[in-house]
């Protein structure tokens, strides 16, 4: 991509962002005129959140959040189209994922307000969205170098972390969580620790234990397929790295990190 094309792309993104902020300010101003109590309702929500009280969203707050989500999705779709036209693949991937995340977050918030989703389903959706964001970020930053694909020699660390979070989100159902929570309470009783099944501590320990279990179980197959560089921390595919040895008898075979060139055993 030439310098002139790069400047044109940056200017286009700046104009899109400037137009979006102007449209957002206009929409908020119009909405505020018809809903003058919006500011006090938002302040009330934050006060209850910090004090630990139960949060009850008003219809005005929900509509305002849906407006923000919709405008954000429009902005990222426009940026995605602009990036696709200029064949900037990392930006295209990132903006498309942000657009999807904005839409799903708006739907999740509205469904939670309408009591169509349980807290378990909300957490599950948030985990899946987090994994989607991490995978897309890992692909954009690790699989491309100067807008050229390098999947075999790319950095898979963020992609793998996002995949682990995705597995955690898919396993996070109300039925499985209650079973694991019962197991946590059972272990606590064996250790002579009193733990109520419905307590916040039991739920927190169950969630942390589930995270630890998923990360440990997925670590073994990852180590068979990938190698982590101890110098720069890059996680790369074994089949994408050059194999070397110290002598003609191929002793101490090792791979070289595609980023820093350090030997990895």
Task: Give me the residue label for tokens 């970020």.
Answer: 137
Q: What is the pLDDT of residues 148-160, one digit of tens each?
A: 777 766 778 888 8
Q: What is the pLDDT of residues 167-209, one digit of tens each?
A: 888 888 888 888 888 888 888 888 888 888 777 788 888 888 8
Give the pLDDT score at 67.
Answer: 84
Q: How far is CA 60 from the centre of its chain?
A: 28
Report d(CA 67, CA 88) in Å as an integer.
29
CA angle 171, 167, 159 (to 5 degrees): 165
Pairing of strands 235-237, 226-228: antiparallel
Give the pLDDT score at 119.
Answer: 73
Give the pLDDT score at 265.
Answer: 63
Task: Give percent of the chain with pLDDT exceeding 70.
Answer: 82
C-beta atoms surrounding 199 within 10 Å: 13
Give the pLDDT score at 251.
Answer: 54
Give the pLDDT score at 52.
Answer: 53
CA dist 81 to 105, 142, 213, Å?
A: 21, 22, 40
Give the pLDDT score at 3.
Answer: 45
CA angle 99, 105, 111 (to 5 degrees): 140
Q: What is the largest CA-CA distance in the chain?
A: 80
- pLDDT tens string, the chain, 265 residues long: the values are 444 444 444 566 777 778 888 888 888 888 888 888 877 877 877 776 566 566 667 777 788 888 888 888 888 888 888 888 878 888 788 888 888 888 888 888 787 777 666 777 778 888 888 888 888 888 877 777 666 777 766 778 888 888 899 888 888 888 888 888 888 888 888 888 888 877 778 888 888 888 888 888 888 888 888 888 888 888 887 776 667 765 554 556 677 777 787 777 6
Helix intervals (H) in the chain? 3-34, 38-51, 59-85, 89-113, 119-142, 157-171, 174-190, 200-225
Give the pLDDT score at 130.
Answer: 87
Give the pLDDT score at 100.
Answer: 86
């Amino acid at each position: 991509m030439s310098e002139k094309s790069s400047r044109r792309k940056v200017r286009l993104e700046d104009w899109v962002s400037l137009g979006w902020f102007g449209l957002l300010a206009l929409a908020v101003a119009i909405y505020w005129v018809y809903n003058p109590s919006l500011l006090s309702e938002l302040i009330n929500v934050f006060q209850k959140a910090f004090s630990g009280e139960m949060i009850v969203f008003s219809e005005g707050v929900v509509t305002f959040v849906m407006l923000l989500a919709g405008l954000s999705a429009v902005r990222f779709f426009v940026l995605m189209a602009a990036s696709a036209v200029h064949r900037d693949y990392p930006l295209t991937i990132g903006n498309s994922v942000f657009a999807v995340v904005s839409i799903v977050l708006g739907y999740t918030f509205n469904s939670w307000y309408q009591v169509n989703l349980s807290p378990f389903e909300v957490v599950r959706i948030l985990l899946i969205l987090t994994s989607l964001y991490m995978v897309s970020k890992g692909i954009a930053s690790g699989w491309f170098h100067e807008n050229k694909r390098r999947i075999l020699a790319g950095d898979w660390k963020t992609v793998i972390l996002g995949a682990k979070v995705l597995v955690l989100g898919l396993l996070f159902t109300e039925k499985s969580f209650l079973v694991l929570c019962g197991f946590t309470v059972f272990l606590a009783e064996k250790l002579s620790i009193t733990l109520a099944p419905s307590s916040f501590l039991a739920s927190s320990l169950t969630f942390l234990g589930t995270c630890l279990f998923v990360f440990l179980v997925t670590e073994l197959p990852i180590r068979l397929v990938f190698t982590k560089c101890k110098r720069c921390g890059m996680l790369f595919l074994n089949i994408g790295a050059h194999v070397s040895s110290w002598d003609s008898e191929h002793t101490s075979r090792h791979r070289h990190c595609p980023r820093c060139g350090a030997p990895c055993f």
